[in-house]
Structure 1
Amino acid sequence: MKTLLVALACIAGALAVPVNPTGEAPLWTRSGQWQGDIVLSPEQKVAIRSGRTGLINTYYRWGDRTIPYKLRDGDFNEAQAAIIRNSLEEYNTRTCVRVREATAADRDWVLVTREDSGCWSYVGRQGGQQQLNLQDNQWGTCLISGTVVHEFLHAFGFYHQQSATERDDYVQILWDNIQDGTAYNFDKYGADLISEFGVEYDTESVMHYDKYAFSKNGQPTIISIRDPNQSLGNNRGLTDRDILKLNRMYGC
């Protein structure tokens, strides 16, 4: 009987351990880019590796607080294009920045593509045409409102929330659960590299990793200090703090 009770206790303990309910890593973590879905310019790579000022450079801001974009010909059908356009309307209705379809007069724009390489974007304006990819096929889709908004926030100049200088006051990184070779995705940056524009850390931000990001065993890699059971991030869209930070970044 004692052996049975011990066995039952072990089973109960195992069942109490939170495990990734889907069992599959989000598509953006499988893109093979920096922090999963970020493409860095050569200058941004140097800034991160050397720790010098550069990521908050206003050079990367979009003129007129507007991102013009094009959907690459032949990549998206009408239904897919509608998802993208409807998702981007959140910027036009809830923030002071704008996203619109590009015209021949635009010198800088985002080219949205549907390559089989995951969900990813450059950070900030790069000059001329820059690519933003939204995969959609039998292996996974990026055509989810929160994901579209997330990738365009990168294009506006946002990095991931958990890279914030003060992140250790709000979340704990569970290093032992992180896939080998991917711990760099949880690096945090100093205030000379990125800015939160005076907005408090947001565990629900559309730019925050979920709690199982880059997990090697289905267990959490990042948890809220205040409530370890809290879900992190969201795949719906902008939070109030996301909006406040974006508006402050663009001075409007």
Structure 2
Amino acid sequence: MDLQARALLLLLLLSAVCNAYPTDVRNQTNYRIKQKNSEKEDITTTILRMNNGSADMLFEGDVFVPRSRTAKKCLDPRYSCFWPKSSNGNVEIPFVLSDEYDHNEKNQILKAMKGFEGRTCIRFLRHRGERAYLSIESKFGCFSLMGRSGERQLVSLQRPGCLNNGIIQHELLHAMGFYHEHTRSDRDKYVKINWDNIQEYYYKNFQKMDTDNLTPYDYSSVMQYGKTAFGKNRAESITPIPDPNVPIGQREGMSDTDILRVNKLYKCWSYIG
């Protein structure tokens, strides 16, 4: 058998081996690899990776800004972007879960919601015809509106990449009116923004807000972005001070300070020890 014939035979054998595995098996393998890698990422890296290429107008990477509304509306005293208290003393937030999610994915979202119960007066309840409610759907990426809009409002949790407990709670906190930790008005006492490591186009994502901070700065907040958020070639954009080795960008879920902040903002006095 000449060299050309042997090469052709080898190609045919390789093709047969590849095709022996069904497409769905190969796709599942690729997904498991991506999922394993995502478990090593900080919360920012995952969110920004999932939102890369989105056609939506996203402020700070994951705050959805409709054309009819600015991202700062919640800070305008003319508006109330907070969910009201019910007569029973709880803050009830109606929601609808898209049927795009399978049973396990729905349970992941419900479990993240349950993380608010028992420690705050926030209750996520199935939509019963209320005008204002969260519509949780698997759109392109992980993002949410800022605060209560007064009508149907989208929270995007793309399956499967955004269905991590910390990311789900992060986006729900946006829907409740919370900004990222690194945009607090007092942030310069706690983190250094390395402007030289950030593309000028992304400077807006580090704009300080005129915030009511409620609690001390929290490096472990689920709303704190990681050290390389929007950094050029993964360069460090946010450095904790005075100790640059403090870890930031955790993706596990709300910290104790996040919980305290929710209770203070929504006046859940019976949950504050």
Which TM class, normalised by the smaller chain length?
Answer: 0.7 to 0.9
Greater relative CO, 1 or 2 (CA 8 Å, sep 6+): 1
State whether structure 2 residue 153 is matched by structure 1 residue 130.
yes
Distance 1:189 1:110 in 2: 25
Q: Secondary structure at the match of 2:234?
A: coil
State whether structure 2 residue 184 is matched by structure 1 residue 185.
no
User: 1:26–1:174: structure 2 CA closer, same or farther, 3 Å change rule?
Assistant: same
Give the one of 251, 254, 260 matched to 1:238.
254
Aligned sequence identity (%) = 34
State the 1:243 CA deviation.
Answer: 1.1
User: 1:155–1:23: structure 2 CA closer, same or farther, 3 Å change rule?
Assistant: closer
Distance 2:106 2:168 in 1: 11
Distance 1:98 1:24 in 2: 24
State the 1:22 CA deviation.
Answer: 5.5
State the 1:112 CA deviation.
Answer: 0.3
User: 1:226–1:182: structure 2 CA closer, same or farther, 3 Å change rule?
Assistant: same
What's 2:48 paired with?
A: 29
Give the one of 171, 185, 208 matched to 1:165.
185
What's 1:121 paired with?
A: 144
State whether structure 2 residue 63 is matched by structure 1 residue 38.
yes
What's 2:97 paired with?
A: 71
Give the one of 105, 113, 136 matched to 1:112.
136
User: Do the aligned partners of 1:23 and 1:218 also contact (CA within 8 Å) in 2?
Assistant: no
State whether structure 2 residue 196 is matched by structure 1 residue 149.
no
Q: How many residues align?
A: 217
State the 1:93 CA deviation.
Answer: 2.2
TM-score normalized with structure 2 length: 0.73
Unaligned runs of 5+ in 1: 1-20
User: Do the aligned partners of 1:111 and 1:130 also contact (CA within 8 Å) in 2?
Assistant: yes
Deviations 1:29-58 (A, max 9, x none): 25251000002354434659xxxx51x666
Supply the RMSD in Å over aligned alpha carbons: 2.3
User: 1:200–1:135: structure 2 CA closer, same or farther, 3 Å change rule?
Assistant: same
Distance 2:233 2:131 in 1: 46
Q: Secondary structure at the match of 2:80?
A: helix
State the 1:218 CA deviation.
Answer: 2.1
Q: Secondary structure at the match of 2:118?
A: helix
Counting only pairs closer than 5 Å after superposition, residues 5-24 of structure 1 correspond to structure 2 as none
Choose 1 or 2 for highest CA Rg.
2
Give the one of 86, 98, 103 matched to 2:123.
98
State the 1:154 CA deviation.
Answer: 0.4
